[in-house]
Amino acid sequence: MIPRYARPEMVALWSPETKFRIWFEIEAHATDKLAELGVVPKEAAAKLWEKGGPATFDIERIDAIEREVKHDVIAFLTHLAEIIGPEARFVHQGMTSSDVLDTTLSVQLARASDILLADLDLLLAAIRRRAFEHKLTPTIGRSHGIHAEPVTFGLKLAQAYAEFDRCRARLVAARAEIATCAISGAVGTFANIDPAVEAHVAKKMGLSIEPVSTQVIPRDRHAMYFAVLAVIASSVERLATEIRHLQRTEVYEAEEYFSAGQKGSSAMPHKRNPVLTENLTGLARMVRAYCLPAMENVALWHERDISHSSVERYIGPDATITLDFALARLTGVIDKLLIYPANMQKNLDKLSGLHNSQRVLLALTQAGISREESYRLVQRNAMETWEHGADFLASLKADPEVSSRIPARELEAMFDLGYHFKHVDTIFARVFGEA
């Protein structure tokens, strides 16, 4: 991941230093249990913690060894032996490389989830604050990009809140599913290591045990995890796209914050572009792109192969780092979003009350006219507004087929904006637990 779209905490989680520290902890906890079971000397387990615990692993040295032996875990164990001394021969007893690699990936993805969940909490808080701020700010709802019926800007944000709340619940479930430990040895039979070691390491590392592994943790877990990240990214893009549309010059109902000294175009000094939300759209595409290879990793040969390994070295860091950045950026956009109620009202009034057409349609049907005929009457008058700019209410009043069924005073009452918002409190209570 390039530094431009990365934040320090998530980057540190995927650093070689963090990875090797987790490798050490897995090996050391496993050795502790092996010592308790009498498989290795207790003194050796103690020495491992004594010398390895405070050690700083030499990344360059490990890389140099790997260039020779062509095996990353062996390279680490060789370097660890240089630090520990003769007692290092008792490390990795009965274990295979995947026990370390897969369990480490589980730890990293679980910790990444915790960062992402904190990101989501901040985003939800920002959306909630702005939703209540604009709970009753009228704006036109659009279907197919065309004026439909009125909503409030608060309702738009309430919808986004509910969506990201679902995203959070999915990530909690995905974290639980991915946070598994496998210390089962070659082909997963525990032939050379007691299952108690796996249970001990799992507890120490904050994981659950994998009920049945082959030589690897089954990759359906990882596929589901990255699928959830992809869905969250899609929700990020959905809200970003809404903001981009609202910032269009012809709409101009909301706008990304434009700071003092900011430039929108190298050629046109007047430009204020939605660059942050455009960027979020692009980042969402990348997170979704990591989902497919995760799903293709599910089908491995027999008890294991390593076709998944190179993929995960990319997508583990990149997907989580990118989504972490995107969620933080979206939170900033929402927190500072410039909202223009006057422009919303101006757009709402643009079509002379056409958004009340359904209410008139229903009133005509209740007055005894068939739905088909009622639709024809309302549409006939609506087209006068669309095509000639006529006042919709005035047209209805002047239409004898309409006015003979609905008196002018009742027609006027049907153009009350508040009618459309009578259940806003109900929706807010459903979403936020309070109105």
Residue 375 tokens, joined = 């639709």
Q: Residues 42, 179, 119, CA angle at the centre, nearest 5°?
A: 125
Q: What is the DSSP letter of 37?
A: T
Burial class (CB in 10 A: 0-12, 13-18, 19+), 145: exposed
Q: How do strand 180-181 and strand 138-143 relate by DSSP bridges?
A: unpaired
Q: How many residues make up the chain in this entry? A: 435
List % helix, strand, coil for the chain (3-state, nearest 5).
70, 5, 25
Q: Which amino acid is at 376?
A: R
Closest to 214 measured CA to CA, from 333, 299, 339, 338? 299
Q: Which of 15, 265, 307, 310 is catalytic?
A: 265
Q: Which of 143, 144, 259, 302 is catalytic?
A: 144
End-to-end Cα spacing for the chain: 42
Q: What is the DSSP letter of 433?
A: S
Distances (CA, A) of 371 to 187, 192, 256: 69, 77, 44
3-class secondary structure per residue, 309-367 = HHHHHHHHHHHHHHHHHHHHHHHHHHHHCEECHHHHHHHHCCCCCHHHHHHHHHHHHHC
Between CA 185 and CA 306 the distance in angstroms is: 16
The CA R_g of the chain, rounded to the nearest whole Å, is 30
* 3-state secondary structure at position 422: coil
Distances (CA, A) of 350 to 340, 419, 430: 16, 19, 32
Q: What is the DSSP letter of 89?
A: G
The string of DSSP codes covering 145-189 is TEEEEEEEHHHHHHHHHHHHHHHHHHHHHHHHHH-EE----GGGS
The Cα diameter of the chain in Å comes to 102
Q: Is 200 annotated in the active site? A: no
Q: Which amino acid is at 104?
A: T
Q: Is 144 annotated in the active site? A: yes
Query: Would you name the residues annotated as active-site residues?
Result: 144, 265
